[in-house]
A and B are shown apart, each in its own frame.
Chain A
Amino acid sequence: MAQQMSLDVNGHAARVTVDDPETPLLYVLRDDLGLHGPRFGCGLGQCGSCTVHIDGQAVRSCITPVSGLKPGAKIVTLEGLGGPDKLHPVQAAFIEEQAAQCGYCINGMIMQSAALLNQTPKPDEAAIRQALAQNLCRCGTHLRIVRAVQRAAGTL
């Protein structure tokens, strides 16, 4: 049954029509709202490439049914975290460290790290590695990613 929903995405109200209440948030963000930040990687919550912030928490949008969102939940994607004109400190640090190869996982790395720094502004290297333990990268960019998070935290 088609259902109208209003979502707060990157500070804007977005109205979407959803056929199935079980539709994962990822598909609404990508297919209905045309966002490129959150990425489809596994659909199982295993890799982290779909990560978004919901009320400041890093959440896997591929296993988050859109109907389960709390009314008024604030959704932020990589696009909303910061743009070319106003980079988020984590984004700036990723560019500084050239912390990407194919970059497909990088959305999750940045969103997870930004959430970490919100709660723990000065994590040590081991804490960063632990916080990203459930985010997969296949290209082997891990070391640059860790350095970028350290740089953003001002601990490099």
Chain B
Amino acid sequence: MNAPTLSRRSLLLQGGALVVGFSLTGRDALAQPVFAPVATNGFSKPVAPDQVDSFLALGADGRATIFSGKVDLGTGIKTALAQMAAEELDLPLERVTVVQGDTALTPDQGPTYGSLSIQKGGVEIRQAAATARTRLVRLAAERLGLPAEALVSENGTVRPKAGGTGITYAELIKDGRLDLKIDPAVTTKDPATFALVGKSVARIDIPEKITGRFTYMQDYRVPGMVHARVVRPPTIGAELQSVDETSVAGIPGVIRVVRQGNFLAVVAEKEWAAVKAAGQLKATWSRWEGLPEQDKLWQHVRATRVTKDDVTSSTGDAESALGQAARVLEASYDFAIHTHGSIGPSCAIAEFKDGLLTCWTASQMTHALRKQLAAMTGLAPEAVRCIYVEGSGCYGRNGHEDAAGDAALLARAVGRPVRVQWSRADEHGWDPKGPPTLIDLKAGLDGQGNVAAWSSQFHVPEGAAGNVPLVAADLAGLPHETTMSPGNIIQNSALPYAFPNVRTICHRLATTPFRPSWIRTPGRMQNTYANEAFLDECAAAAGTDPLDYRLRALKDPRGIEVLKRAAEIAGWQSRPSPAKEASGDVLRGRGLSYVKYELNRTYVAGVAEVEVDRRTGRVRVPRFFVAQDCGQIINPDGVRNQVDGNVIQTVSRVLMEEVTFDRGAVTSLDWTSYPILTFPDVPEVVIDLIDRPTEKPWGAGEPSAAIVPAAISNAIFDATGVRLRSVPFTPAKVKAALQAT
């Protein structure tokens, strides 16, 4: 087999023997080679999600290896999952190694998205570890002739509570195999006894990242490997008519120009030769102008065919209550198309050998990618192995999977392992995009100004969180998905408030201009933005303080608590918006926003402070306050890091970001045409975390992003009396809105 990954290497250094092999004889019926199961400690390692041995292996050296289907995308979950496992196994953290996202080794715990790594992935590992510990204690009880209740596990041993010598885990299970089903009802540790969970343990990956010793996907190398760059069509739908291979003939080290349908790439011995050849290759493409005009994007969205309506909430009779309301408000909000903007463009390596495909990838969903690569190449899924190697942060489904598709196609074409490194323009131009979102809202207020009726319509692409089709498969005419997968973007279209008459509808659109996918907090961000900004419009119309207005309509005590605590850390003064202190050139305001994520988990409330320069229309966010309750916190410092990231990244998205395009392709292909927030404009982030150790752990990677857009819109209104309803809130839009009043 090929060079082991870092995690594999550390695994090999452990006591337990690990043998990786493949078989040319498996699946006789198909007469097709498949990977044989990986052997650990002399037996085939299972990956079935109901087996303890799928999730963990106890080595003869006293170490534990955790096999996680969820992967660390730079969020720190490798450390947090190690904490959860070590806690439940009663092992020191240093004796736990985490292997992530290797389809031959790790169970399929679903893609790493949706703020589920701890909530789902971690909880499954916790159950596996608790089941293992329970079994270890029972084995020790049999050996010692004592009742299990008389024993305690600690530091990798089980010993009598009364004192005396313990037995190590390695001695209790000599071959490392537990051969045990996970007990979903297993008793996990009492949070009162937690030694590691709830502590700000330092991240295990940071020292290597700080000293240049870490191996990212972009650093990974395989013996015999060659380098490729893709040459994408100049417009999304262009057909490749001809290629002049002589145009790159003079570049030393060019191995091959690979063309399959509209897929085009150059492969070279050295990376720079591939870069140069990709830039120099002459090809003729057909014209294509299938994109809408950018300045008519919202008319285009409104005119797109609706394939179905999802009614996401319906209470009372919103239509007739609107008819009887003392006052009716109406507004439309829109949210631009965004790109993921990973700092490192996507990269992958693929190798075909003996009919088997191995792919090293930074994919957030290696198990799903394996199926996509199998479909694309015609191999059985068992003949494909995807191995996760951490890449640049992706914040959703960026280009990592597409680079893997490119590498697989090219590795087969040239018969050598191929590394594909996307350029900056490939990433900005061809990663799937966060789709444009348009939302129409109506509210009816009663005589006291309370919301008596609420009706909203969300215009969003159809589809859910499936597999996003691979660019290479599409361009080369190979099998691929034909449905859209924008993520679960209808979440949080319904409200967390107890209004008497509510109807929220998502019109699912047949098409959207660009191949859609999820970007951090997909749908929940756009929907919460419209809901929380429009609710602020209602509060202003009622002449009521925005905090009081929300508290009046909220019955959930945990929601009430985050709102009150956010207001407290922000020094919230009770008064209606706008502030009415509009003197000077720079106007200051504050805005509040709240979310109960997907209406069933993490609670976040936040306050934005803004400064609006009315001469230029420029908005700054000097400070942002967040109160968050994500239940049981595994690593408080890790959660704070995520909240910082959510706020800063979303301030950037809301103030600055918008994919630009002409009739054929994306035109924002670098950091000048798609600028993001930089150091001088990054807000201070003040965080109040509410830890509830006895509650379930919920996600923290996304929810706090959801509140940012509305908090800023509300703060701009507070400062200026002008309502911004179109993200991004660029100086031009702000200036135009100010001049219109």
User: Is residue B288 contacting chain A, with contact meaning CB distance below 8 A?
Assistant: no
Q: Are A31 and B424 also in contact (CB < 8 A) when A49-B344, A103-B209 are? A: no
- When distances are taken between beta carbons in the complex, the residues of chain B under 8 Å from A134 are 678
- When distances are taken between beta carbons in the complex, the residues of chain B under 8 Å from A103 are 74, 205-206, 209-210, 214
User: Is residue A9 contacting chain B, with contact meaning CB distance below 8 A?
Assistant: no
User: Is residue B573 contacting chain A, with contact meaning CB distance below 8 A?
Assistant: no
- When distances are taken between beta carbons in the complex, the residues of chain A under 8 Å from B326 are none
Question: Which one of B311-319, B544-552, B557-565, B645-653 contacts A?
Answer: B645-653
| A23 & B637 in contact (Cβ 8 Å cutoff) | no
| A146 & B679 in contact (Cβ 8 Å cutoff) | yes
Q: Which of B203, B251, B671 contacts A42 (CB 8 A)?
A: B671
Q: Are A107 and B212 also in contact (CB < 8 A) when A23-B272, A84-B207, A139-B393 are? A: yes
- When distances are taken between beta carbons in the complex, the residues of chain A under 8 Å from B207 are 84, 95
User: Is residue B296 contacting chain A, with contact meaning CB distance below 8 A?
Assistant: no
Contact with B along A104-121 (1 / 0, CB 8 A): 111100100000000000
User: Is residue A55 contacting chain B, with contact meaning CB distance below 8 A?
Assistant: no
- When distances are taken between beta carbons in the complex, the residues of chain B under 8 Å from A105 are 343
8 Å CB interface, B654-697 against A: 670-672, 676, 678-680, 682, 684-685
- When distances are taken between beta carbons in the complex, the residues of chain A under 8 Å from B649 are 138-140
| A138 & B212 in contact (Cβ 8 Å cutoff) | no
| B343 & A95 in contact (Cβ 8 Å cutoff) | no
User: Is residue B14 contacting chain A, with contact meaning CB distance below 8 A?
Assistant: no
| A40 & B74 in contact (Cβ 8 Å cutoff) | no
Question: Which one of B150-158, B186-194, B215-223, B350-358 contacts A?
Answer: B215-223
| B343 & A31 in contact (Cβ 8 Å cutoff) | no
- When distances are taken between beta carbons in the complex, the residues of chain B under 8 Å from A91 are 210-211
Distance in angstroms between the alpha carbons of A78 and B209 in the assembled complex: 10
- When distances are taken between beta carbons in the complex, the residues of chain B under 8 Å from A98 are 202-203, 206, 637, 641
- When distances are taken between beta carbons in the complex, the residues of chain A under 8 Å from B216 are 36, 39, 104
- When distances are taken between beta carbons in the complex, the residues of chain B under 8 Å from A135 are 678-679
Smallest Cβ distance from B316 to chain A, in angstroms?
40
Smallest Cβ distance from A61 to chain B, in angstroms?
12
Distance in angstroms between the alpha carbons of A106 and B212 in the assembled complex: 9
Q: Which of A19, A37, A110, A145 contacts B273 (CB 8 A)?
A: A19
Distance in angstroms between the alpha carbons of A107 and B452 in the assembled complex: 55
Distance in angstroms between the alpha carbons of A131 and B390 in the assembled complex: 29
| B679 & A82 in contact (Cβ 8 Å cutoff) | no
8 Å CB interface, A53-100 against B: 77-79, 82-84, 87, 91, 94-95, 98, 100
| B206 & A36 in contact (Cβ 8 Å cutoff) | no
Contact with A along B327-354 (1 / 0, CB 8 A): 0000000000000011111000000000
Smallest Cβ distance from B342 to chain A, in angstroms?
6
Contact with A along B495-527 (1 / 0, CB 8 A): 000000000000000000000000000000000
Distance in angstroms between the alpha carbons of A130 and B684 in the assembled complex: 15
| A27 & B272 in contact (Cβ 8 Å cutoff) | yes
- When distances are taken between beta carbons in the complex, the residues of chain A under 8 Å from B652 are 140
| B424 & A102 in contact (Cβ 8 Å cutoff) | no
- When distances are taken between beta carbons in the complex, the residues of chain B under 8 Å from A82 are 211
User: Is residue A123 contacting chain B, with contact meaning CB distance below 8 A?
Assistant: no
Distance in angstroms between the alpha carbons of A136 and B253 in the assembled complex: 33
Q: Which of B391, B676, B682 contacts A143 (CB 8 A)?
A: B682
User: Is residue A132 contacting chain B, with contact meaning CB distance below 8 A?
Assistant: yes
8 Å CB interface, B576-597 against A: none
| A133 & B344 in contact (Cβ 8 Å cutoff) | no
| A19 & B270 in contact (Cβ 8 Å cutoff) | yes
Smallest Cβ distance from A85 to chain B, in angstroms?
10
- When distances are taken between beta carbons in the complex, the residues of chain B under 8 Å from A6 are none
User: Is residue B41 contacting chain A, with contact meaning CB distance below 8 A?
Assistant: no
- When distances are taken between beta carbons in the complex, the residues of chain A under 8 Å from B642 are 101
User: Is residue A144 contacting chain B, with contact meaning CB distance below 8 A?
Assistant: yes
Distance in angstroms between the alpha carbons of A102 and B219 in the assembled complex: 14
B638: nearest chain-A partner, CB-CB? A98
Smallest Cβ distance from A67 to chain B, in angstroms?
13
A66: nearest chain-B partner, CB-CB? B272
User: Is residue B32 contacting chain A, with contact meaning CB distance below 8 A?
Assistant: no
- When distances are taken between beta carbons in the complex, the residues of chain A under 8 Å from B618 are none
Q: Which of A47, A100, A110, A143 contacts B671 (CB 8 A)?
A: A47
Distance in angstroms between the alpha carbons of A21 and B272 in the assembled complex: 11
- When distances are taken between beta carbons in the complex, the residues of chain A under 8 Å from B50 are none
User: Is residue B625 contacting chain A, with contact meaning CB distance below 8 A?
Assistant: no
User: Is residue B276 contacting chain A, with contact meaning CB distance below 8 A?
Assistant: yes
Q: Are A142 and B272 also in contact (CB < 8 A) when A79-B213, A135-B679 are? A: no
Smallest Cβ distance from B593 to chain A, in angstroms?
18
- When distances are taken between beta carbons in the complex, the residues of chain A under 8 Å from B670 are 42, 44, 46
14 contacts between A and B (CB under 8 A): A20-B272, A24-B272, A27-B270, A44-B670, A47-B671, A82-B211, A84-B213, A100-B74, A101-B393, A102-B74, A102-B390, A102-B393, A103-B74, A143-B684
Binding site for B on A (CB under 8 A): 2, 19-20, 23-24, 27, 30-31, 34-37, 39-44, 46-47, 49, 77-79, 82-84, 87, 91, 94-95, 98, 100-107, 110, 126, 128-130, 132-146
Taking A91-B210, A103-B74, A133-B680 as known contacts, 6 extra A-B pairs with beta carbons closer than 8 A to each other, sorted by chain A number, are A20-B272, A36-B216, A98-B641, A132-B679, A138-B676, A143-B644
Q: Which 5 A-B pairs have the closest CB atoms?
A: A102-B74, A37-B212, A140-B648, A102-B393, A140-B645
